[in-house]
Amino acid sequence: MLVQTQRLSDALYSLFDGRSTPSATRQFLAAGAHDAVHEHHRAIGFLVREQLCGSAFVLRRAMFDGCLRGLWLTHIATDTEVDRFAAETYDPKPVRVLAALKTLSISGAETLRQFYEAGWKAMSSYTHGGFRQVVGRLGVGFVGASYTAEELDSLLQHANWFALLSAIELSEISKDVRLQEEVVALGERYVARVV
């Protein structure tokens, strides 16, 4: 799965790195949120390759948050909320954003809700140095990273899904039909390889 993650990250970077985006505040901020998801995706691949897995698990929550905020900025936030977000005086709660996304039938929203319901506590535990982060450092008779191949594959699969969701959103923000087609084709190739 690590090779697939690195290939996907390389392909996404070749499509998006340095691409221009609309300069209106809403679209600009949403693009920034989704671009951060791609950076975290790339970092997860690097960290897993270097066996710095505890740090990689921390970034899954950051990817989730980036996807959620990017979708919120694009589809839900009022102009006042966008201004307050830009002034760092407002940050929406995930439950509120997920409920609003559900009413709008936004692509990927149901999967994000499932991630939230099944994994919010675990993602937060890794991020905030909780039990998951602590126990992931303990093996039988030693202290050090102790993650199973299944845990790492799950992390990489989630990271790849977040990265593809953000790629779709970025391509829609850019209003570049050819880019949208390239992202869809890339996603289809990825799915065909891992299924």
Average pLDDT over residues 41-46: 97
Per-residue pLDDT at 149: 92
Per-residue pLDDT at 184: 93
SS3 content of the chain, % helix, strand, coil (to 5): 75, 0, 20
pLDDT of residue 79 exceeding 90, the answer is yes
- Closest to 145 measured CA to CA, from 39, 41, 56: 56
Q: How confident is the model at residue 163 (pLDDT cuts 50, 70, 90)?
A: very high
CB atoms within 10 A of CB 104: 11
The answer to whether 186 and 35 have CB atoms below 8 angstroms apart is no
**Percentage of the chain exceeding pLDDT 90:** 70
CA 52, 57, 59: angle at the middle one, nearest 5? Answer: 105
Note the pTM of the prediction, 2 decimals. Answer: 0.92
The answer to whether 167 and 183 have CB atoms below 8 angstroms apart is yes
Q: Could you tell me how far CA 149 lies from the centroid of its own chain?
A: 21
Tokens coding 180: 């949208």
Q: How confident is the model at residue 75 (pLDDT cuts 50, 70, 90)?
A: very high
In this predicted model, which residue has the larger pLDDT, 193 or 72?
A: 72
Domain ranges of the chain: 2-194
Per-residue pLDDT at 193: 86
Q: How confident is the model at residue 80 (pLDDT cuts 50, 70, 90)?
A: very high
Q: What is the pLDDT of residues 89-138, one digit of tens each?
A: 999 999 999 999 989 888 888 899 999 999 999 999 889 988 888 888 78
Per-residue pLDDT at 88: 96
- Pairing mode of beta strands 142-143, 138-139: antiparallel
In one-letter notation, the amino acid at residue 14 is S
Q: Which helix (H) or strand (E) holds 188?
A: helix 177-194
d(CA 12, CA 42): 10
d(CA 38, CA 55): 16
pLDDT of residue 67 exceeding 90, the answer is yes
